[in-house]
A and B are shown apart, each in its own frame.
Chain A
Amino acid sequence: MLLIRCPYCEEERPELEFRNAGEAHIARPTNIAAESDDDFEKFFFIRANPKGVIYERWRHIHGCARFFNAVRDTVTDKFVMTYKAGEPKPAKLPGASK
């Protein structure tokens, strides 16, 4: 069972308290009704499936109930970092410069 750091509660809590909520940084278009079929397809259906670093959303559903973002390595299953919803995609990951 993983330990996940909730950026709102500011502590590591067991995975049981959380739910994954899919890929992060996919913003709903402000004028969604005017989106082309292709753009809507990209927005709604197409998701990254990387081997390695993935940006994803989690919800501390059995805790503070907040959605937040996380960077996780899909190979090692290790969380690189977590950050609050609405914050930009981190430009640099901890340990990535090595």
Chain B
Amino acid sequence: MNAVFRISGAGRLSQAKTASFSFDDRPYTGIEGDTLASALLANGVHLVGRSFKYHRPRGFLSAGAEEPNALVQIVRDDARKTPNVRATVQELYDGLTANSQNRWPSLAFDVGAVNDIASPMFSAGFYYKTFMWPKWAWKDLYEPKIRAAAGLGVSPDKPDPDHYAARYAHCEVLVLGGGAAGIAAALAAAETGVRVILADEQAEFGGSLRFESGARIDGQDGYAWAQAAIAKLKAMDNVRVLSRTTAFGYYAQNFVGLVERVSDHLKSPGRELARERLWQVRAKRVVIATGAIERHMVFANNDRPGVMLASAARTYLNHYGVAVGRNIGVYTANDSAYAAAIDLKKAGINIAAIVDLRDNPAGPVIDEARALGIEINFGRAVVSAGGKLRVSSMSVQPKNGGGERTIPVDAILMSAGWTPSVHLFSQSRGKVAFNDETKRFVPGTYAQDCVSVGACNGTDGLAASVDEAFAAGAKAAKEAGGKVGKGAKPKVDAGESWSRGMLGAAPGAGPGTTVKAFVDFQNDVTAKDIRQAVHEGMHSIEHVKRFTTNGMATDQGKTSNMHGLAIAAEELGKPIPQVGLTTFRAPYTPVTFGSIVGHARGALFDPTRRTATHGWAASHGAVFEDVGHWKRAWYFPKAGEDMHAAVNRECVTVRKVGGLFDASTLGKIEVVGPDAAKFMELLYTNPWEKLETGRCRYGIMLREDGFVYDDGVVGRLAPDRFHVTTTTGGAPRVMNHMEDYLQTEFPHLNVWLTSITEQWAVIAVQGPKSRDIIAPLVEGIDMSDEAMPHMSVREGRICGVPTRLFRMSFTGERGFEINVPADYGEAVWEALWAEGQKHGATAYGTETMHVLRAEKGYIIVGQDTDGTVTPNDAGLDWAVGKKKTDFVGIRGLTRPDLVAKGRKQLVGLKTKDPKVVLEEGAQIVADPKQLIPMKMIGHVTSSYWSENCGRSIALALVAGGRDRMGETLYVPMPNGTIEVEVTGMVFVDEKGERLNG
């Protein structure tokens, strides 16, 4: 239970506050403030995972977001099993349960490690070369078996029970990164009074001040200065400070996506806390202060657990008080690893040796290391790491070859130099520039209103970074409208500074070698793989990347991209800038689906629209169907009825007596103004000028290409006022279409358009008794056939409320559609229902509506038409005004293809066996004996069982359909071919007498 690698007196955590946790079912104890990584290291645990491809044992490479190796599964409960969590960023809480991934049966003994031995088979491009053939293997072998063997964590199999918040925010200055530079920039901007947001991915601010033991700012320790500055910023009203918040995406016009991890670090967050919060920030200016990431050395077996970045070891020691070993080797190509060695040595840890690739470097840190008695080897290389589940030694050789010496170690700290984090700058579409002297890409040409400061800008040294950041913060605020700030610039008393280093493979892993010297740990890409990709013809870095998958894992190549690029450049014999950098893409670190989805799930995924009678329908047993956003009553089953029985009863009752139907979802648009009729003439095929007030007409709307766009009944309420109805689904696009023409093509017309869909509830009362049901409730309207014939509209009152009463029919029966203000919809429905009950009428739903209209051959735009159907094709030529000189679609209708012979036309179909109901969408052929693929001449658009006809009925689009009346056609189906006869489209009351019946 005692954490033997916790060094007393080191680090900033309070030893008193312990937290117990488990890893692979073994209990451990850590300290509050630990990450899972620091807590495991304190317990001497380095082996935490198996690699993606070769199943090699892996430990911790880093202490931060760049971690490629230490991916674990965090288990809270049955539904909360988060895979691929970086142990280096997962904060410890009491009771945390973590498991290793990608191993079987155990982490220490993993059968999959056979891949490591067989690795020559799995070299670069293995997938592309192997999974080409044979074809059968895809289904039986590759997909099920290889998929199971590949991949890392396991997805949870239950719905995510957590909730995720989302916020939009605006500010003048957004500072990304809360290290010394970011804090300095935020301080400068905040003093000017503008709105500032400062975000950092870590739990505590400070960035590299967490490990830079030598930093002193404004007379205090660097990390303490950072905490004081953050406290000051938090106290300011114009500043929002966000910790545990990663800027993952930089989009157009300074729109930045941040994700805040709200409760992943808490023992029991409770329902009131979101798990994560997505911030979508629009900033006038952005200051990028994302720092730099240390690179590893590329040498044989550089992936053994215990081999890690020097800055990581320093962070574990100086912040968490944890030693990553007791006898540590150092392999470096720059100065910064010396600082790690010095700090560890001072903490009482033995430094076995420093191996420095450089020939004769000099500087204060080197002198200090030497003064502490640490062995230093210049001009030498670590050519291999020994050990398997944990590093046990390092083999050292002069870098130009010669005798090898093996030094026993239990950890190796590496540093090949620092890579500026230009990810967000690059995402902003800025162009990076290569600095040949310092061998790094730094921000070059800017594309947006942002500025990079500090290490991510290639600025070396704490003092220079803070100066640059403070000036940039003040400038950004001023440009965004801030006053001149009064705050004093932080004074850096002491700080560390290093640059340079090396790129590419170290000696021993150079050209011609076959050792496993890893470039990309997460995707198991070695130096050899990158060279092989070049040999096999990948000359573009983008091709090398995809062929080897270098930099394509979830860590996005934070540690590997520059090494991979350098190796490819060397192999291509080109300078690095000519080979170029691969494109940086969002997200910077993985983002959960939950945070992107936010509240938009379940009932909040999409709006739900309910009509005024929804409650009545629900309480009367209606089954609902989704029609766009609407919930519509589908059918009203009585006890013991299935859908078929209910619909049959509803269909028969409507034709025999009457029925009530909620038609409120139909789109309704009021077209008003002196030029309303002229506008209608232009937007619909029909003539409107001569339509009398109080009369209705079935209108067809075309697109300019001549195809049917929408239809509906239009009533003329006054010379300058039309009540237009549209299809349920078409309402928004018809409104848009009308507005488009009114605003841009016919702006001279004096017309106003108003959507009134939701203002009027519509109750259709249809059937021979419809007038008898309605009449007792209506005032001020003469409903006799003479006064109010079919296709007329009257205004009056029903149940004491205003109504627009249409006499119209979508059933072929005498029918009315009663429009009442939506608030009265349910009350009027109840009153009509009470009247209907006296006659034995039924309530009916959309399914019965569909059957009844099909029995009459009334089409539904979007079901019987599909955007390639003309009015003539649909048998609606009568509705096109022949004398009109203009309407939208008039020219389209005369296009050669639209007047050609043999077009598909709507017809009726009757199956030879009346009991067989065709499938909608089924294809139709003329000759069922032809060879496959058969020539299809049409398809079924609507098909129902018609209880009124005692048989099935169908509508279909068939080539030359109207010339085929009486012809036998065939519908080939999986269970046999169905014979059908081509008929007219009207199956009930062909003469239309029932409209007045």
Contact = CB atoms under 8 A, between A and B. Distances in A.
Interface in B90-140: none
A85 interface: yes
Contact of B744 (A19, A32, A40, A57): A57
A7 B890 CA distance: 33
A37 B251 CA distance: 44
Interface in A71-98: 76-78, 85-86
Contact of A33 (B280, B740, B891): B891
A9 interface: no
Interface in B747-761: 747
Interface in B246-288: 251-253, 255, 280, 282
B986 to A, nearest CB: 32
A22 to B, nearest CB: 10
B308 to A, nearest CB: 40
Contacts of B251: 1
A32 B736 CA distance: 21
A77 B251 CA distance: 11
Interface in A34-74: 35, 37, 40, 44, 57, 59, 61, 65-67
Given A2-B252, A33-B885, A67-B739, A76 B890 contact: no
B739 A65 contact: yes
Contact of B747 (A32, A78, A86): A86
Q: Pick from A2, A44, A66, A78 the residue with the most CB of B within 10 Å.
A: A44
Given A3-B253, A32-B891, A67 B704 contact: no
B255 A86 contact: no
A32 B896 contact: no
B580 to A, nearest CB: 19
Nearest to B741: A28
A85 B523 CA distance: 53
Interface residues of B, number: 25
- The number of chain A residues touching the other chain, given as a range, is 20 to 34
A31 B255 CA distance: 46
Interface string B865-889: 0000000000000000000011000
Contact of A44 (B705, B745, B885): B705
Contacts of B429: 76
A32 B743 contact: no
Contacts of A33: 885-886, 890-891, 894
B599 interface: no
Contacts of B890: 32-33
Contacts of A66: 743
B749 to A, nearest CB: 13
A61 B736 contact: yes
Nearest to B447: A76
A33 B893 CA distance: 9
Contact of B740 (A3, A21, A76, A78): A21
A40 B891 contact: yes
Contacts of A65: 739
Contacts of A3: 253, 282
A59 B886 contact: no
Given A2-B252, A66-B743, A40 B895 contact: yes
Nearest to A12: B253
A77 B890 CA distance: 36
Interface in A1-31: 1-3, 14, 19, 21, 27-28, 31
A58 B788 CA distance: 45
B503 to A, nearest CB: 31
Contacts of B510: none
B577 interface: no
B591 to A, nearest CB: 16
A37 B896 contact: yes
B730 interface: no
Contact of B743 (A2, A67, A78): A67
A86 B886 CA distance: 21
A32 B703 CA distance: 13
B744 A86 contact: yes
A18 to B, nearest CB: 13
Contacts of B895: 37, 40
Contacts of A86: 744, 747
Contacts of B885: 33
A67 B892 contact: no
A59 B736 contact: yes
A78 B252 CA distance: 8
A44 B743 contact: no
B252 A32 contact: no
B282 to A, nearest CB: 7
A40 B252 CA distance: 37
Residue of B886, B891, B895 with most chain A CB atoms under a 10 A cut-off: B891
A85 B746 CA distance: 12
A40 B874 CA distance: 24
B886 A67 contact: no
B886 A32 contact: yes
Contacts of B255: 1
Contacts of B739: 59, 65, 67
B447 A85 contact: no
A37 B282 CA distance: 49
Contacts of B892: 40, 44
Contacts of B253: 1-3
Interface string B743-783: 11101000000000000000000000000000000000000
Interface string B231-253: 00000000000000000000111
Contacts of A19: 736
Interface string B320-348: 00000000000000000000000000000
Contacts of A28: 704, 745
Interface in B420-438: 429
A70 B744 CA distance: 14
Interface in B894-933: 894-896
A16 B894 CA distance: 38
B896 to A, nearest CB: 7
Contacts of A44: 704-705, 892
A83 B781 CA distance: 50
Nearest to B896: A37
B643 to A, nearest CB: 38
A44 B747 CA distance: 20
A82 to B, nearest CB: 14
Contacts of A37: 895-896
A77 B252 CA distance: 8
A1 B252 contact: yes
B353 to A, nearest CB: 53
Interface string B403-433: 0000000000000000000000000010000
Interface string B462-481: 00000000000000000000
Nearest to B746: A28
A1 B896 CA distance: 43
B199 to A, nearest CB: 18
Nearest to A77: B252
A19 B985 CA distance: 39
Nearest to B257: A1
Nearest to A30: B886
A2 to B, nearest CB: 5
A44 B892 CA distance: 9
Contacts of B282: 3, 14
Nearest to A36: B891
A28 B891 CA distance: 11
Given A2-B253, A76-B447, A77-B252, A67 B891 contact: no
Interface in B430-454: 447
Contacts of A2: 252-253
A14 B705 CA distance: 33
A14 B253 CA distance: 10
Given A14-B282, A61-B736, A76-B447, 6 more contacts: A2-B253, A3-B253, A32-B891, A35-B891, A44-B704, A86-B747
7 contacts: A1-B251, A1-B252, A3-B282, A32-B890, A37-B896, A44-B704, A57-B744
User: Which 4 A-B pairs have CB atoms at the shortest separation, nearest pair first?
Assistant: A32-B891, A67-B743, A28-B745, A3-B253
